[in-house]
Chain A
């Protein structure tokens, strides 16, 4: 069974850093691009970042460029999101999602999310 399990969320002060992780199982991890998508409380979905199957191609939404870094370790079947200089508007449930193919295109299967709260 395909599984994506996020971890690393929590309460953090503005300006601080947090690293999210996503452990994947039940599929061949390096056959797929991967994504982080967030959802602020009561709001819609916002794509945050994506990474191709081999990590060569990465992309970010404008609001996190220069602050967030996506990476993956195919040997460990893991996806990461390093979040620096966090702002209150980054508060959201962060989902890890598997793409439908090798390159960044769409989010197929999703995890259950990890909550990030940025507040003093």
Chain B
């Protein structure tokens, strides 16, 4: 079984709808991250969480919110989706004890906002 899972894997929604992307991990890591990937732009950090009570904005947090329900779960919400949020979204985890903070990624969620 995969260590980092994301649901759904694909989602089509309409402008103005609220949607939630979920991430779960069995790696036992304390740190979790949400990125979006756009062609030619690489990965950009949306939010990150160092533990259940520690959530921080990344470089592109506007229009997004997150919830860390447990150490193993980190959800990303789009409160009112807009077309330019169409992208591939990745969840990642890392272990604070890991030198350099190597991150491990889920398979991604492909989101299309019409």
- B is bound to A: no
